[in-house]
């Protein structure tokens, strides 16, 4: 045997048999049985890969996780889309109020469900398209909301619906600001 002692392995900090020399022979000349005996204790050189059972277990776990995550992601995207549509409705009312106060003339706001458009008339003549998902509904009561230059507005109610989700806003007549209910 050589005078070299077993040096600790870099990853596991314990002596590994592959660092020993057998009768000063190069490692390539050691027989297969001796190699298996030498490399059995080494965590890196002793393993050749993953077993088929380990691979199947990982794939099964990934399949289960995908089955749980996919429906939750769909619900999250539906909720996000509903919030986006409701935000567009509220932004339209704030825009109408701002235009009425800024231009000094009343602004009427209507929602056309067929064309998916908010229509503004009075101080400003404009149409803004609102993206609606299939099954989404906006309701205005009364059908025309009027915003006045002094910040007042006709009292009204706006409802946004999509599937089981629903959000209602009341237009405060003193401020013209939509208030969530």
d(CA 150, CA 25): 99
**Dihedral in degrees, nearest 10, Cα atoms 150, 167, 92, 78:** 160
Give the confidence band of 137 by pLDDT, cuts at 50, 70, 90: confident
Residue extents of the structural domains in the chain: 14-48, 55-180
- Token pair 């040096």: residue: 7
Quote the percentage of the chain above a pLDDT of 70: 73
Q: Does pLDDT of 44 surpass 70?
A: no
- For the record, the structure tokens of 61 come out as 């776990």
Classified as helix, coil or strand, 30 is coil
Q: Of all helices (H) and strands (E), which one includes residue 102? A: helix 52-103
pTM equals 0.62
Say if residues 54 and 33 touch (Cβ distance below 8 Å): no
CATH superfamily membership of 55-180:
minor pseudopilin epsh domain (3.55.40.10)
Q: Does pLDDT of 20 surpass 80?
A: no
For the stretch 61-115, pLDDT in tens is 999 999 988 888 888 888 888 898 888 888 889 999 999 999 999 999 998 878 7
């Amino acid at each position: 045997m050589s005078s070299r002692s077993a040096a600790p392995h870099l990853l596991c900090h314990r002596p590994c048999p592959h660092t020993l020399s057998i009768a000063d022979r190069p490692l390539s000349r050691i027989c297969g049985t001796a190699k298996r005996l030498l490399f059995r204790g080494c965590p890196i050189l002793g393993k050749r890969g993953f077993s088929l059972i380990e691979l199947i277990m990982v794939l099964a776990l990934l399949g289960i996780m995908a089955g749980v995550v996919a429906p939750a992601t769909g619900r999250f995207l539906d909720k996000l889309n509903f919030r986006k549509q409701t935000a567009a409705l509220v932004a339209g009312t704030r825009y109408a109020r701002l235009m009425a106060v800024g231009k000094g003339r009343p602004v009427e706001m209507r929602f056309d469900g067929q064309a998916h458009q908010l229509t503004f008339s009075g101080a400003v003549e404009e149409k803004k398209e609102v993206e609606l998902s299939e099954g989404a509904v906006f309701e205005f009561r009364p059908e025309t909301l009027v915003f006045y230059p002094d910040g007042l507005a006709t009292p009204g109610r706006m409802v946004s619906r999509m599937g089981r989700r629903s959000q209602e806003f009341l237009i405060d007549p003193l401020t013209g600001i939509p208030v969530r209910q």
